[in-house]
Chains A and B, each alone.
Chain A
Amino acid sequence: MGGAKGTSLKARRQLRSQATSTQIADAPPQGEAQPVITVAGTSMIADLAGALYWPDQRLLVVADLHLEKGSSFAARGVLLPPYDTLATLGQLSAVIARFDPKAVIALGDSFHDGEAHQRLSAANRDHLAALQARRDWIWIVGNHDPELPCALGGTVASELAIGAINFRHEPTGARGEIAGHLHPKARIAARGRAIERRCFASDGERLVMPSFGAYTGGLSIRDAAFLRVFGAPGFHAHVLGDRQLYTVAAARCC
């Protein structure tokens, strides 16, 4: 799978955030203890919906929305229910309401295919615009959506660095990297029962985000692809439970 291919239309600039690390983080909107994941010394809040929030920057990160995946299959004769974009945007707007971020990064594969944004219904398009209002919105391109039109609103970029953290779609294994693309999921089995959930995969230095889209399946974190990202088997799965986040050794999963 190729990364972002350069085109004349797309602004392929690298954004350097002006934000400084001295910025005071707002108190989290909820009173409960927020599960924290540390990436290269930076603390982030892991949301159970599969989003990551960086309080210092008031920045929300979601990966692999795969909007219009349903209609993408429909065009090929598999008439999946056309409610996935509605469901994904619904989830996203709930997370945005929770954190009220100043900026949102969609970490690539936000649209399931190159024409997906054209298939957005008017209602969904309005919904998206409402979410983008009053905040910065950055579309990082992915292999599913290497080109994104300006009409979508927000800024298009191939990657983004803020302080020690680098945001890109496909993980390279670099220190301080937050990526998506792999859709990590963890399967835990015991006593003849098994549970499978999406998860953040991290070794403390780099992190792979869970996929956020309603129809996005997952890849077991025991797949060799994760070993390539982390270099050693000692990484963790931060599993999205119903009530809380559970941190499990990747080797414990199957």
Chain B
Amino acid sequence: MNAINQPCSAKELLPERFRQWFAARGWAPRAHQLALLDKARRQRSALLIAPTGAGKTLAGFLPTLVELSSPSSHLSPRAGRGRLAGVAGKPGEGADEIATELATEAPPSPRTRGEGQTAPHSGGLHTLYISPLKALAVDIARNLETPIAEMALPIRVETRTGDTPVSRRQRQRRYPPQILLTTPEQLALLLASDDAPHLFGTLRRVVLDELHALVTSKRGDLLSLGLARLWRLAPQLRMVGLSATVAEPEQLARFLVPQHRSPSPASGEGEQRADIVVAGGAAQPIVDMLDSRERLPWAGHSARHALGEIYELIHRHTITLVFVNTRSQAEMLFQELWRINDDNLPIALHHGSLDVAQRRKVEDAMTAGRLRAVVCTSSLDLGVDWGDVDLVINVGAPKGASRLMQRIGRANHRLDEPSRAVLVPANRFEVLECRVAIDAIAQNAQDTPPLRRGALDVLAQHVLGCACAEPFVADQLFEEVISAAPYAELVRSDFDDVVAFVATGGYALQSYERFARIKQDQQGRWRVANPKVRQSYRLNVGTIVEDTMLKVRLVRSQRGAASGATGAISRGGRLLGEIEEGFIESMVPGDTFVFGGEVVRYEAMAEDQVYVSRAHDQDARVPSYMGGKFPLSTYLADRVRRLLDDRRAWAALPDQVRDWLSLQAELSVVPGSRQLLVECFPHAGKHYLVCYPFEGRLAHQTLGMLLTRRLERARARPLGFVANEYALAVWGLGDLSALIRQRRLDLDALFEPDMLGDDLEAWLAESALMKRTFKTCAVISGLIPRRFVGAEKSRRQVLFSTDLVYDVLRKHQPNHVLLRAARADAATGLLDLRRLGDMLARISGRIAYKSLERVSPLAVPVLLEIGREAVYGEASDDLLAEAAEELVRTAMG
């Protein structure tokens, strides 16, 4: 990693007016800000790695501001047209018009220096800024306004998001601003228009904000393909990536420059990635684990035991951000905090499912310093600075070291002062996780995931977008696509399959030629078959496929009435927010859950509305959902295993936890760091098998599905299983200890990695998780329009179900490109197959087996999850059988 290798003087790199501006504010340009100016002057793309509060954004924009401050940039004819447009466009643009139309007022500078530094810009769009959050784009525009106004720079800055009015969008295409702030989806839309070459031909710089967050998802794939197109449209283009600290910066730096399959010997390794600039000087954060006076719970995620202590911490600080992992945890904690909030401290709630207006209100109150605490989820992981946060509390599992570090960075956005954070584990296993996370942060260890392999469904969307812009030649487009880092290893046959899919669905049965969306012309160029295809592309762009969201409305209770049936309930009611359809679908009318800070009762669902009434219960019946999006990182899991294996390290643990582990050592076994401990014991009339892979809930769920299949074959009569982040418990009627003793069940064979073969295939055919994965691919690839997905509930009858499409396709063309895309997603997504595979390989031949008389201390937490957490099994006939028996019982009186 080359850090800032040569000290550059501010004088050399910054024009006089910038130096004066810095001086007037009492600032000195930071080393990494100068380093980025230097990279820009030498026409290098750069990745800036800096903690929050390092002035990252200004660093990213300084080269642009300096280049555009040279007068030559606004003397071009196009800038003149922009001036007219600016004046004409002013009335009726609304208060949120960000444009700084200084170009019309600034007198032409008599000096023409600056041309020696960089080639003059000939007008038009100069810099594109892309961020994952549209709120961030708006905020950055506001922040840029200050230096631009104070230095009287002739620069127009505009934002373009989903909220931008059509009139302004059109004007932006004809008369682009010098700086445009936008999102990956808007970039895709702009690139799919036929004036993309005109718009982007002048582009000099792209600034990618929060790059570490963008590249971990399919949005990053889409963005990378957009960049590949930009490199072709504007070969002079240089990139700047702004990122928090990541595990492999060299990988991330590849994202910023075109990749070449066989680099010419002349261009070295360095040509395949951007230069890396690391901002130093951040103070080490001060992170503690709450040493609770209370008894530590064995299981659960509520951290109710520490409530009083959390409240005290909020009291002692100015503004506290309280991070939790799931929406339901946020709801619960918020509610509990208010229950003990005797001093009426202004404490607010923020999560992604709340109404947008409600969220904005909280954010504004935060910025204005009117709040003392906000209970929030990852909805505040990224984004704008919110006032003077002086403490971050992380309740529950940290999940990953880098992720925790980024959250902690939300406190105190000043580099030279340490951020302060307190970790509050909600149960005993989380104590172990918090302990190793604190150690990891002290060592600056990073565990961000490796760079993705580009998804084929995203590629399909992009290919259609390319055809919408202009006819393409497959060979040329392939070359362009593989210049994007995530697609650098794409094989040609996959690309050809994707093109065939975009054209006619890519089916072995070629019956859709006449319905083709793109067609080859005489010269072999692929062009859009009709204007409707373009329209449909525009409506479906993007990679974020959310579970269909239903509006939650508060109505009067219908208890006693025949609730549940459509029409039985009075319409209307106050809007509380939105909720995932999948969550509601698992509920029965009458079930209670926490939403918007109160316990509500599910009454009915009608079209896209969910009706709930206020429940007077203290506790919600349906406790949580999904258990959070992110599994425990492989890195932290490894550290937890090593902590368990190292008795001396137990000294750093709270007494209660140390005692618990000592008891485990006495009564069973504490597993070695490379071992898998498997315990079998009878409990409450059933036989249990508990194992401790520490690979996260998703991988454990998949393992549970596959193990129960195998145990069924071994006649162990399994009944169900429950998984948490650390362990998996399977129970059944068969005496597992006896089966193992009699050698009728072989543990090594049970955990044999070949379960990822036939067993997996058989299960995938049925798996609801796999069907959900397929649906996402079908939407992103453009097979199924978004409006159909969203329209399901607003129409009386479903148009068609993607589950049925999956079943039919799987049976008749199992190697179809969309099924391949879905399987690739399953490796890392909801099924976490890759991680499961790595685990099975790791523990092969290293199973530590212990047959016990009763439940072991280590097994208690996962057994307590039974009944508290949803039992993970694919719902099947047994559920129907149960309901049928209920009917019989009712009939028999």
* A contact residues vs B (CB 8 Å cutoff): 69, 71, 73-75, 77-84, 86-87, 121, 183, 187-195, 197, 214-219, 222-225, 227, 233, 236, 239, 241-244, 246-249, 251-252, 254
Contacts and interface: CB of A to CB of B under 8 A. Distances in A.
B508 to A, nearest CB: 9
Contacts of A87: 808, 811-812
Contacts of B798: 217-219
Contact of B808 (A84, A191, A224): A84
18 contacts: A78-B784, A81-B505, A83-B809, A87-B812, A190-B588, A192-B622, A197-B880, A214-B807, A215-B808, A217-B798, A222-B566, A236-B887, A239-B884, A244-B877, A248-B883, A248-B884, A252-B886, A254-B589
Nearest first, the 10 A-B pairs at minimum CB distance are: A192-B870, A217-B798, A79-B505, A193-B875, A195-B875, A83-B812, A246-B880, A246-B884, A224-B567, A217-B801
Contact of B796 (A77, A82, A219, A233): A219
Most chain A CB neighbours (cut-off 10 Å) among B589, B801, B807, B879: B879
Contacts of A121: 511
Contacts, number: 159
B788 interface: yes
Given A81-B816, A214-B808, 4 more contacts: A83-B812, A222-B565, A224-B565, A246-B881
A74 B510 CA distance: 12
Contacts of B882: 190
A215 B804 CA distance: 6
A183 B873 CA distance: 27
Interface residues of B, number: 56
Interface in B194-220: none
Contacts of B586: 189, 192-194
Contact of B870 (A183, A193, A233): A193
B800 interface: yes
A82 B622 contact: no
Interface in B554-575: 562, 564-567
A183 B797 CA distance: 8
B877 A81 contact: no
B660 interface: no
Nearest to B778: A80
B812 A86 contact: yes
Contact of B876 (A192, A195, A233): A195
B813 interface: yes
Contacts of A74: 505, 512, 515
B652 interface: no
B148 to A, nearest CB: 45
A78 B788 contact: yes
A83 to B, nearest CB: 4
A77 B536 contact: yes
In this complex, the member of B515, B517, B871 whose beta carbon has the largest number of chain A beta carbons within 10 angstroms is B515
B587 interface: yes
Contacts of B783: 78-80
Contacts of A83: 507, 509, 808-809, 811-813
B785 interface: yes
Interface of B: 504-505, 507, 509, 511-512, 515, 517, 532-533, 536, 562, 564-567, 585-589, 622, 783-785, 788, 796-801, 804-805, 807-809, 811-813, 816, 870-871, 873, 875-877, 879-884, 886-887, 890
A214 B784 contact: no
B805 A81 contact: yes
**Residue in A81, A83, A223 with the greatest tally of chain B CB atoms within 10 Å:** A81
A242 B785 CA distance: 31
Nearest to B783: A79
B805 A80 contact: yes
B622 A249 contact: no
Given A217-B798, A217-B804, A194 B585 contact: yes
A90 B536 CA distance: 33
Nearest to A227: B565
B564 A254 contact: yes
Contacts of B517: 77, 79
Nearest to B503: A79
A233 B797 contact: no
A188 B878 CA distance: 11
A252 B589 contact: no
Residue in B509, B532, B883 with the greatest tally of chain A CB atoms within 10 Å? B883
B799 to A, nearest CB: 7
A50 to B, nearest CB: 13
B587 A243 contact: no
